Amino acid sequence: MENVFAKIAVVGSGALGCYYGAMLARSGVAVTFLVRSDLAVVRERGLRVKLPTEEFALREVRAQATPEEIGPCDLVIVALKTTANGDFRTLIAPLLHERTAILTLQNGLGSDEELARLFGAERVMGGLCFICVNRTAPGEVLCIEPGSLSLGEFGRPVSERLRAVGELFTRSGVRCQLGDDLAWLRWKKLVWNVPFNGLSIVAGGITTDVILADAALEAEVRALMAEVIGAAGKLGYAIPMNVIDQQIAHTRPMGPYKPSSLIDYLAGRAVEVEEIWGEPLRRAQAVGAQVPRMAMLYALLGRLTKR
């Protein structure tokens, strides 16, 4: 599978897209970024990534304003917010040739199925980003905790193609693991995203350290995590309950971290309410899972984000 991904496009040049694209590009991979709002800045200044132990800049960055200017690629990495999924056909179709693979690094549930419906299930892979990274300025990202990247094929076990993608990320310095069940990986990510992204907004725009410093809010985090794990179990994705302690222990050292949904909310941008809370809630209720806290959180977020 050497050089099978000779040309890669990153669609969605926010925090995740810039970070992972820059890591790949620094390692010598031919990456082109689709940049719609900060193109002039990225072309002039390149990309800058600050990690806990180092900082690097890419002075010369391949960046285009339209997918047509990029043309067909071997791998398309989708790092869009799910609120932009209605643009999938316009943004992705011009990047495809007969064998192009699509890797979505998006949050929540539903994107894998939508990409499969539009472009064919055989193309689709998914990635779960266990990372703390924020975009601090056009073309600049701050990574507080590099974490890891979990990859899976959509509806299929690990393949040689997936291993090749994993090797690309591993060689670029990204800690990467592969899984046979992408849906299980997505539910495990929701164990963190549902409580922390949601409570950071409904509790008044607070960071993760403030949430965990409040005994009542930490108890709510744990209760929401338990509901997500229970729902996943009902759907056939067994997640052990000790994941709750593990994830809280992992979150404490992050300090005053703003989850991505909070950043979007405070900036007045659309929040990924349906994908992170709505769709998991509907799937949970469809199998009879008891998820009253998830339902309440979804309702509150719906009201708060209507603006």
Helix (H/G/I), strand (E/B), else coil: 145: strand
* Contact predicate 131/145, CB 8 Å: yes
Q: Is 251 helix (H, G, I), strand (E, B) or coil?
A: helix
Who contacts 97 (Cβ-Cβ below 8 Å, separation ≥6)? 72, 73, 74
The 3-class SS string of 38-100 reads CHHHHHHHCEEEECCCCEEEECCCEEECCHHHHCCEEEEEECCCHHHHHHHHHHHHHHEEEEE
CB atoms within 10 A of CB 132: 23
188 is catalytic: no
HSE-CB at 98 with a 13 A cutoff on CA atoms is 0
Pair of tokens at residue 162: 């997936």
Tokens describing residue 247: 């994830």
* Helices and strands (H, E) in the chain, number of each type: 14, 10
Residue tagged active-site, from 81, 188, 189, 258: 189
User: Which residues are catalytically annotated?
Assistant: 189
